[in-house]
Structure 1
Amino acid sequence: MKEKFKNYHKIPENEYSNIWDSAIFILDTNILLNLFRYPENARVDFLKVLKKIKSRIWVPFIAGLEFYENLEHVKNSQMRAYDKIYNLIDKTKSKELLLKDELISDLKKLKLEKRHYDISEEQLISDFKQLSNDYQEKISDIQTKYLFDEKSERKQKITKENLKLLDDLEKLLEKKVGDPFGDQDAINKINKEGKTRFENLIPPGFKDSSKERDSNKRNLTFNSLIYKREFCDLYIWNEIINKSNSLDTKTNNVVFITDDAKEDWWRIVNGKTVGPRIELIDELKTKSNGKIANFLMYNSWRFLEYATDKYKIKLKSETLPQIKKVQENRNFALKYRDGIYIAFKKYINKTNSHVEFVPSQAKHLIIFKDEVLDLIAFDVRTKHSINFNIDMVIKDVMKKFDSGILDKYYSYNLVIIEFDREEYEINRFIYPSYSEKLPSKINIVSNYADFDEVNKEYIIE
């Protein structure tokens, strides 16, 4: 019995070292992209480890294509963090000036010169003005420190670091990337298989089925061939199987390194990740005609943890915690996005509204006011911003109205979803006043997204 179901048995720890000695190490897209999210010391340490196994590294073609497609977005998202700091400080400065003016106005109303001999209204106001000026000066110094214009030393430093990292990575992976798919028929065959696999929850990739509805990010193209984004994991899996069949007899183990934490790759029992899905192990061994003895999977920090122990590589003390933190943040953001997406679908159904997932037919502009969603891609009909400005949004909508773009719609709903209860309670009384100034076919709707701790899901009220 044990022999028939040996894939369910955990590999003894004392065998891992030998497996690594005769394994090919395959890198997923997110491993490459996350290097650009790490602090400089962590990325240097990670590259140090990759160089140790340089001769046995391999990257699927689709992983390489996804890497270059998303690289600029990842780099820019790191830059935008500094812009947000600058904007938040600017907002604080404005609030402080308003408070100062309000305080001075209230002090003048007291008419202290007429009512109190020991308090000089003029001196008190002068002191408050000086205090405000000092505050504005000091906070401007902080703002300048994080200023991120083209001439900023900080921006130049990060740009230089990113260029060096890309150069080092490209040299490391020279001649270690899979070949493009031969023709469109080969891709379409996988697409057809993918639909059946997704319907039956056969890994990998069935958790990516929602990507089909995101028409802004649906396809990747290369050499005039079209790759559907929702099947990218399945493309990579097919490449892994084909690569396994082409290995020499000395390489009979496969190690896949990925920061994808979804259950369409990992076997998760009682919330604990215990290894790759059994279906994946079975399929790889079967389709390689038994050539592959073991299939292991690691996330970035687990891989680094084992590699540094095996190869006696010394890392900086902060490297592993930093890499683990980046992975946790990304996983949280993606899980958060999925939760909001489900809540959004329920909201649409509840209101008997209809949203076509094609830009030209969309009847809603959904704005999610939240910081986390600003870090990740979302549906094409949504916009998300922590620096939301209703006047700017309405100005943009009116441009569409005046240009005739909205003539095809019976109505156009501007749905603003708040994640802050206090802001929601204030704004839900403010937004209707804006609606009154708009053409009758344009409606502003305000909703609040609350997290249900019991069912662990978002509910849009």
Structure 2
Amino acid sequence: MNNLIPFDEFSDLWDEVPVVIPDTNAILDLYRNSSLTTEHVLEIFGLISNQIWIPHQVAEEYQNNYRGVISGAKKKYDDVTEKVQTTVQKAKNDVNKQFLRYKGFKFPKINELGDYINTKISEIEAEAARFGDDIIDEISRNKRMLEDDYVKTFMDQLEADGKVGSPFTYSEKIVLITEGDSRYSRKIPPGYEDEKEKDKKDPIKKTQKFGDLFVWKQLLLHAEENGRPIIFITNDNKEDWWVLDKDGNIVSPRKELLDEFSDYSDQNFTMMGLPEFVGHVAKIINKENTLSFLELNATSVLDDIVEYKGWEEVLDGNLQLTSYLIHNGDLQDYVSNPLTDVEIFNFNASKLEIDNVELDGTFVSMEGTFTIVVEATISQYGDRDEQVMITINGYINAQFEIDLEKKEDNIKKNTVKLTLGGFDIKNVVYYDQTGDLDESDMDYQGEELELCSGCGEYKGRGEFRGSLCNACED
């Protein structure tokens, strides 16, 4: 989620002592961060707790979901060394199996090559074991944070301090459910993007889908009663909260929400993601933390690094992507005749998703996935050259050092190392004879299309929940 409000503008708003209202996702996401970042965010929340207010719906959703989130976070740390060792062992088994076949073919010097490769695999096994030893302290800190549950301690304290709102009565819920059915059928925000997913989980009553609407209505009532500006913190980036551009980037809150808020209050209403909020407040109260900032803003940081180097250089500087497209065989499934050459001439829309951030002193490692669309000319044996648009997924790892003395532009550019691989073709669309995209290759026609980062296909704008299409989400 990109920054929406300049610091100076936020600072002026903060002088008005606004009420800070976090959504459920902003709270639950704290369990998914490192112990350093979670403790930093909770420290800031603690220092401004007199301004925080929690809608009852948020408190209820938190209570219903936090145990499952903790369980998933713990499993991540339990699995990390095991997965590394399993991957190495699988590679060893695959290599040994192949060399047993090769020995049967009586290839020259095959035994020497097999011994050499097994020696290298043993060295990798030793490195994997050392990796487990190196990160054991960080794993212990993170698991201790989850077991002690600093987040729940904070939430319990807010409730004890009277910072949690009252629930709706049964009659009030009935009225809101009726209103919600009317709003969702007309795509009036918020919450309609959750309808299909939540109805699957709640097929009888079909009321879970109104969670966002309940949060919104409780926020409006509090704004009306309190008479102060409101800052709503949400990590939800779907179109039933935000106006999105053609690439899915957030532009502004939905106008319908701003108009509805003005019916209840003449004060300012501001929406932003947790990373932006923490960054601004930390600067105001002099609690900035560079490592925490990097983790909270990992996607935008990595995006800036890649854009600085350029996707063409990162992906195909050594012709690694071109080589994959020509020699791997995946692209052959999309052409009629034997593929002879591929020439990439354009790198288009791209999306990054961060899976993990590791912090070790001044050293930072980010791991994730990417989806990118490239345009290329493909040559086939005995056929004319054709232009295509190829959607490709892959893995990305970034490693770099930072200067802790600098608050801005603190990444040491000369230390940046990017590794990309695991390429996988998700979709290929041909251009027709006129140079336009062949719409027969697309699933949707007559409307603006967006790229799904899951399946790599172009879908209609109304078929998305976040960066994934409905089919991938399901």
TM-score (norm 2): 0.55
Superposition pairs of residues 146-225 of structure 1, within 5 angstroms: 146=132, 156-162=140-146, 163-174=148-159, 175-182=162-169, 184-215=170-201
Q: Where do 5+ consecutive residues of structure 1 fail to align?
A: 1-9, 113-118, 220-225, 330-370, 376-418, 423-448
The 3-state SS of whatever aligns with 2:190 is coil
Counterpart pick for 1:42 among 37, 47, 50: 37
Instruction: Between the two structures, name the one with larger relative contact order (CA 8 Å, sep ≥ 6).
Output: 1
The 3-state SS of whatever aligns with 1:173 is helix
| Aligned residue number for residue 358 of structure 2 | none
The 3-state SS of whatever aligns with 2:163 is coil
Rounded to whole Å, the distance in 1 between the matches of 2:6 and 2:149 is: 39
Asked whether the equivalents of residues 254 and 295 of structure 1 are also in contact (C-alpha less than 8 Å), the reply is yes
Aligned residues: 310
Q: Where do 5+ consecutive residues of structure 2 fail to align?
A: 303-353, 356-367, 369-422, 427-453, 464-468
Deviation at 1:269, TM superposition (A): 5.3
Rounded to whole Å, the distance in 2 between the matches of 1:49 and 1:153 is: 25
Rounded to whole Å, the distance in 1 between the matches of 2:167 and 2:301 is: 32
Rounded to whole Å, the distance in 2 between the matches of 1:257 and 1:16 is: 16
Rounded to whole Å, the distance in 1 between the matches of 2:470 and 2:27 is: 35
Matched, 1:77 2:53: no
Richer in strand (by share): 2
One-letter identity of the residue aligned with 1:81: K
Rounded to whole Å, the distance in 1 between the matches of 2:48 and 2:206 is: 30
Deviation at 1:19, TM superposition (A): 5.4
The 3-state SS of whatever aligns with 2:297 is helix
When residues 20 and 206 of structure 1 are mapped into structure 2, their CA distance, relative to the original with a 3 A threshold, is: farther
| Aligned residue number for residue 238 of structure 2 | 262
The 3-state SS of whatever aligns with 2:99 is helix
Deviation at 1:177, TM superposition (A): 1.5
Matched, 1:298 2:272: yes
When residues 318 and 157 of structure 1 are mapped into structure 2, their CA distance, relative to the original with a 3 A threshold, is: closer
Worse overlay, 153-162 or 12-21:
12-21
One-letter identity of the residue aligned with 1:170: M
The 3-state SS of whatever aligns with 1:296 is strand
Deviations 1:411-448 (A, max 9, x none): xxxxxxxx9569xxxxxxxxxxxxxxxxxxxxxxxxxx
One-letter identity of the residue aligned with 1:205: G
Asked whether the equivalents of residues 194 and 231 of structure 1 are also in contact (C-alpha less than 8 Å), the reply is yes
When residues 98 and 205 of structure 1 are mapped into structure 2, their CA distance, relative to the original with a 3 A threshold, is: closer
| Aligned residue number for residue 260 of structure 2 | 283
Asked whether the equivalents of residues 17 and 310 of structure 1 are also in contact (C-alpha less than 8 Å), the reply is no
Richer in helix (by share): 1
Superposition pairs of residues 19-418 of structure 1, within 5 angstroms: 20-82=15-77, 83=79, 86-87=82-83, 89-104=85-100, 106-107=102-103, 110=106, 124=111, 128=114, 132=118, 135-136=121-122, 138-139=124-125, 142=128, 146=132, 156-162=140-146, 163-174=148-159, 175-182=162-169, 184-215=170-201, 228-247=207-226, 251-268=227-244, 273-286=250-263, 288=264, 290=265, 292-311=266-285, 313-325=286-298
Rounded to whole Å, the distance in 1 between the matches of 2:59 and 2:70 is: 16
CA RMSD, Structure 1 to Structure 2 (Å): 4.1
The 3-state SS of whatever aligns with 2:19 is strand
Deviation at 1:164, TM superposition (A): 4.1
Rounded to whole Å, the distance in 1 between the matches of 2:180 and 2:459 is: 34
Deviations 1:123-154 (A, max 9, x none): x57x955863773475266258549xxxx876
Asked whether the equivalents of residues 19 and 253 of structure 1 are also in contact (C-alpha less than 8 Å), the reply is no
Larger Rg: 1
